[in-house]
Chains A and B, each alone.
Chain A
Amino acid sequence: MFLLTDLDLKDQAIDADMIYTEDVTVSPCHGCFACWIKTPGQCVIADSAAQIAQKMAQADRVMYVTRVKYGCYDLPLKTVLERMLPMQQAFLRIHEGEVHHVQRKVARKQAVVIAYGAEDQEEKEIFSQLIARNAKNMNWANYRIVFCEESQAADRAKEEAQTWKF
């Protein structure tokens, strides 16, 4: 399981390949499209994002732990996710009746999103819409969103990880 988190979960004894956003250096995406039209599958920025993209592509189980901000991922996770563009090709296809990019070798995934800090139902609904759209673009076969308070997020992540041990 690959775990991408904006909370420090290193003491939680979670059996996962864990990336804590504070521990890695990830610059914002330049939007240069070099990973499509110059060095396919490879970002031109030499930082931690490329390694994260490799792990993300290979994983068949992923977990995100993120603060929700205005119905979006907060900056730390969003910055990393914007750098996952090398997982896709420039070329387009019809997927679930819509136009989307062709995926490179990206494992079909089960995903869980531990989403903390959403203030009300409206914000949860917007975030849910966002995750539903991301699922199409990140090759998620199925997913669950667990909304909770920040103080509960570590426990929820641990509980979810334990259900995936079999």
Chain B
Amino acid sequence: MEVLIVNASPRAPISHSKEYGRLLGECLCKTENVCVQHTIALREKQVEESVVRTQTADHVVLVFPLYVDSVPVTVLSLFSKLAQIYAEKQAPFVMHVVINCGFLESYQNNTAVSIVRLFCKRQGISFGSVLRIGSGEAILGTPFQKRVEAALNKLAQSIISGEAQTYSVQMPLPKWLFIRAGNRFWLKRGQKNGLTRAQMEAEEVKDARQAKNPKNTTR
């Protein structure tokens, strides 16, 4: 059985999607006779390579982050290429998705799942299983990562067994605590760049072509 894991994150080489894809690959490889391949779908050539590889895959797992409450443009571009190649012939694979969003609630990924499902329906591609990850920007590297690994393991088993399932995982925190922890996380990242909280809270939306020295104009 060949499983192709496509990282369709706009920041593919340094993305959380890359890590989710890697962890899923490890889960899948525990089973004999499962061959896992990884591609990314960012640049045009990479998208084309991904599409070519789908032709020999039994399963394709699309891994991406939520962008503007839906699929990022990288996924739309991939859809366009897949639609071209499978316009006249049946896709040989089942499509699965792993979607992560930075918000706590994993259900905020639902619209993106529906978009992928509709694409598959329109193209005659079988749709399989789903993993919706909430707090996906923060959960890796915390004690809660084990929950993600367990969910990815369940997803791997569903892919192998052919049983379409939808799984969800998120940090088991109340919203106020997640927000407090998340805001500390972002503040630290800003501080590493020499910013204060007040500067990060700048009200103005600026144009790089107009703003010469942004750090001095955001108090």
Contact with B along A43-70 (1 / 0, CB 8 A): 1111000110110010000000000011
Which B residues fall within an 8 A CB radius of A?
9-11, 15, 65, 67-74, 76-77, 79-80, 103-105, 108, 110-111, 114-116, 118-119, 122, 175-176, 178-179, 182-183, 186-187, 189-190, 192-193, 195, 199-209, 211, 214-215, 218
Residues of chain A lying within 8 A (CB to CB) of residue B203: 41, 104-105
- A105 to B204 Cα, complex, angstroms: 6
With contacts A78-B76, A92-B183 taken as known, whether A133 is within 8 angstroms of B111 at the C-beta atoms is yes
Contact B105 A93 (CB under 8 A): no
With contacts A30-B10, A91-B201, A94-B179 taken as known, whether A39 is within 8 angstroms of B118 at the C-beta atoms is no
Contact B115 A70 (CB under 8 A): yes
Please tell me which one of the listed residues A70, A82, A134 contacts residue B118 in the complex, with CB atoms under 8 A apart. Answer: A70
Contact B11 A30 (CB under 8 A): yes
Please tell me which one of the listed residues A75, A93, A119 contacts residue B73 in the complex, with CB atoms under 8 A apart. Answer: A75
Contact A134 B69 (CB under 8 A): yes
Contact B205 A46 (CB under 8 A): no
**Chain B residue with minimal CB distance to A129?**
B111
- A87 to B203 Cα, complex, angstroms: 9
Shortest 4 CB-CB distances between A and B: which pairs? Answer: A90-B186, A31-B11, A50-B207, A133-B69
- A3 to B29 Cα, complex, angstroms: 50
Contact A37 B193 (CB under 8 A): yes
Contact with B along A11-49 (1 / 0, CB 8 A): 000000000000000001111110011111111111000
Contact B76 A39 (CB under 8 A): no
Interface size bracket, A side:
35 or more
Contact A99 B10 (CB under 8 A): no
Residues of chain A lying within 8 A (CB to CB) of residue B206: 39, 41-42, 50, 54, 86
In whole Å, how far is A53's beta carbon from the nearest beta carbon of chain B? Answer: 5
Please tell me which one of the listed residues A28, A72, A133 contacts residue B10 in the complex, with CB atoms under 8 A apart. Answer: A28
Contact A82 B73 (CB under 8 A): yes
What are 11 sample pairs from A and B whose C-beta atoms fall under 8 A apart? Answer: A30-B11, A31-B9, A32-B11, A37-B186, A40-B200, A43-B208, A92-B103, A92-B186, A99-B175, A126-B115, A133-B111
Contact B114 A129 (CB under 8 A): yes
Chain A interface mostly:
mixed
Which A residues fall within an 8 A CB radius of B?
28-33, 36-46, 50-51, 53-54, 57, 69-75, 78-79, 81-82, 84, 86-87, 89-94, 98-100, 102, 104-106, 119, 122-123, 126, 129-130, 133-134, 137
Contact B11 A46 (CB under 8 A): no
In whole Å, how far is B125's beta carbon from the nearest beta carbon of chain A? Answer: 12
Please tell me which one of the listed residues B9, B73, B118 contacts residue A79 in the complex, with CB atoms under 8 A apart. Answer: B73
Contact B69 A46 (CB under 8 A): no
Contact B207 A40 (CB under 8 A): no
**Chain B residue with minimal CB distance to A84?**
B68
Residues of chain B lying within 8 A (CB to CB) of residue A123: 118
Contact B189 A37 (CB under 8 A): yes
Residues of chain B lying within 8 A (CB to CB) of residue A69: 76, 79
Please tell me which one of the listed residues A89, A94, A126, A137 contacts residue B114 in the complex, with CB atoms under 8 A apart. Answer: A126
- A130 to B70 Cα, complex, angstroms: 7
- A60 to B51 Cα, complex, angstroms: 42
With contacts A30-B10, A78-B70, A94-B179 taken as known, whether A44 is within 8 angstroms of B208 at the C-beta atoms is yes
Given contacts A31-B9, A133-B69, 20 further A-B contacts (CB under 8 A): A28-B10, A29-B67, A29-B72, A40-B202, A40-B218, A44-B208, A50-B205, A50-B208, A69-B76, A72-B70, A86-B206, A89-B201, A90-B190, A91-B182, A98-B108, A102-B201, A104-B205, A105-B203, A105-B205, A130-B69
